[in-house]
Chain A
Amino acid sequence: MNFRRFSLISVPYLWLFILFLVPFGIVFKISLSDYAISIPPYTPTLDLTEGWAGFKAFLSALDFENYVFLTEDDLYWKAYLSSLKIAVFATALTLLVSFPIAYGMANAPDEWRPTLMMLVILPFWTSFLIRVYAWMGILSQEGFLNQFLMGIGIISDPLIILNTNWAVYIGIIYTYCPFMILPIYATLEKLDPSLNEAAVDLGCSRTSSFWLVTLPLAKPGVIAGCFLVFIPALGEFVIPSLLGGSRTLMIGKVLYEEFFANRDWPVASAVAVVLLLILIIPIVMYQRNQQKMMEAEQ
């Protein structure tokens, strides 16, 4: 009995161990190593043929040098800070765009809802990379957007959007807004319409009923959506590297360049470990929010 319970519980833990803890351990170990021109490009590597003494020598060669280096070169903390700024701002913009969509969906006639839901999910059926490349075509100086705006005479010179932070925001909003829409829609859709009628009955206008009843009750969905956008946006690499310019500083891009341009695996690993530590805070907060939501439903 006990064994059966144990074996059942152990499955997710085993999964986490193999796919999360072991890779993390390897990355962490590399972050403590030193750069070397060799294959693999770091030293020391664990050689068990020398037995206990070899293992001790291996341990003594590990140090936190790379982490110290991260604090010395201001590129890194600037990249973290700039990523944080872009992620926060992009999350807020995504919320602004997504809430009205989710609200409209939740208030649409029942027979439309599956179709609207489909429209939100549909872009996921094509490759993410292709969609980002499509945005390059839209936003570039000769792109559709500039051609359209100049065509109808709003602007005379093309706007420079591509390769700026604005292109990154547009990319993040576009890519992640389904993650914002769906949890908000889920909470709004569950709301009893008579709650708003009751608020109006008790003297609210339609607007104040929205602020006093709908919005507070949509809060769990809003929080869940914000985390679902913020967490991947913070480490985003594809969008800033394709849509952003040379001055768009994001940690995902720095990470990529350390690994593949500099081939400095130890420093890149240190960057990745710090990024993970930064991400753990919102992830834990998200989990607690989910837990609170579940408790409130009971």
Chain B
Amino acid sequence: MNQPAPTAAFAPWEDAKAKPLISFQNVTKKFGDFTAIDNISIDIYEREFFALLGPSGCGKTTLMRMLGGFETPTMGKILIDGQDMANVPPNKRAVNMMFQSYALFPHLSVWDNIAFGLRRDKLPKDQIEARVEEMVKLVRLDKFARRKPHQISGGQRQRVALARSLAKAPKLLLLDEPLGALDKKLRQDTQFELMDIQEKTGTTFVIVTHDQEEAMTVASRIAVMDEGLLIQVDTPARIYETPNSVYVADFIGDVNLIEGNASPRGDGKTILHWAEGQPPLVAECPHAPDVEARCTFAIRPEKVTISKEKPTDRTNAIQGKIEDIAYLGNLSTYSVLLANGTRVKAQTANNRRLSRRELTWEDDVWLSWTETAGIVLDK
């Protein structure tokens, strides 16, 4: 969605020779009988902005806390910079963490909070001062340096927490739901600020979030997790356009799911019989199964075109009746009821004024899309 231009060229995960900064090797974590992390292997590269995304309880926070050293894996190995982290305690790791609650020390001023880590390293006084000064400027808190955490706003506290965790110039910064406590507007501004700071400092960021929009905005790659398993690890664009499962398609953004029997047509395209008496859907999808199988066809609402007349230039066209219209200002989402009872959402940009909109409730309409618009998923 909002991918900055340089990331197009930045793709160390595609380079076979690139050495990962972090390497999870078959890591499993159990709490008693409960398996929080189930045999996960991932490589994360230097300067990446890596997002762990999933619903609460999926294990993303546990995975991150293992990087920080607050949990140890039950099985498997975690390497940071090629070094096995098994017996390295949190205070001996070049890793810093920004906590969800920010965990600012309430008895210390903003300045002393940021200086806390540097003082533990017994750095000379003038060096500490220069570094704190730099950090305070980076997060634009110069005016508030002498205040206590309870005397500043939530957004400012978030920036203090960020500055404190960056002060020791860690190789790796862990962010646990860093923007969860901020309101929507501030959250969006801060997302860009985070990306900016990440680029400026060149630090590798691993962020944990349950907010898919946030992950899409900031991350170079996203790992979608569910119940301790990695479902898909890929760039935001590919996660959105080519999800590898119904779970990912459904978790990221809005999606229409149509179940049916898929079979290859021989010319590289797949046909999907989804309802009695309806023409099958045709999809050009490289990952579709090459035998006949029960599959789910997934298509994003914005790729479905809605019209009063049957379109002639598109392979897939289905008739239905408008059941509901959600007006979102810039967009409108139409919920269309098909003959077999399936509901399909179509989204269009409101580039004309509302009063001139030609579609309304109970209208019979045609939904259509091209062969490459959707994908066929077999799991």
Contact = CB atoms under 8 A, between A and B. Distances in A.
A203 B117 contact: yes
A202 B101 contact: no
Nearest to A193: B103
B150 A197 contact: no
Contacts, number: 57
B150 A296 contact: yes
Interface in B84-114: 89-91, 95-97, 99-101, 103, 105-107
Contacts of B313: none
A192 B91 contact: no
Contacts of A195: 103, 105
B121 A198 contact: no
B121 A203 contact: yes
A194 interface: yes
Contacts of B90: 197, 200-201
Contacts of B150: 296, 298
Contact of B97 (A201, A205, A298): A201
A296 B164 CA distance: 22
A203 B116 CA distance: 9
A279 interface: no
A197 B90 CA distance: 9
A198 B99 contact: yes
A273 interface: no
A197 B70 contact: yes
Give the bracket for the number of chain A residues in contact with chain B.
Answer: 10 to 19
A194 B91 contact: no
B111 to A, nearest CB: 15
Contacts of B97: 197-198, 201
B168 interface: yes
Nearest to B161: A198
Nearest to B100: A194
A216 interface: yes
Contacts of B106: 217, 296
A197 B100 CA distance: 12
Given A195-B105, A296-B150, A202 B99 contact: no
B68 A201 contact: yes
Given A202-B120, A202-B164, A203-B168, A197 B107 contact: no
B13 to A, nearest CB: 27
Given A197-B70, A201-B96, A203-B91, A213 B105 contact: yes
A202 B70 contact: no
B224 to A, nearest CB: 26
Contacts of A192: 101, 103
A205 B105 contact: no
Interface string B49-71: 00000000000000000001010
B96 A197 contact: no
A197 B103 contact: yes
Given A195-B103, A195-B105, A217-B105, 19 more contacts: A192-B103, A197-B99, A197-B103, A198-B164, A200-B89, A201-B95, A201-B96, A202-B91, A202-B96, A202-B117, A203-B117, A203-B121, A208-B120, A212-B116, A213-B105, A216-B107, A217-B106, A217-B107, A296-B106
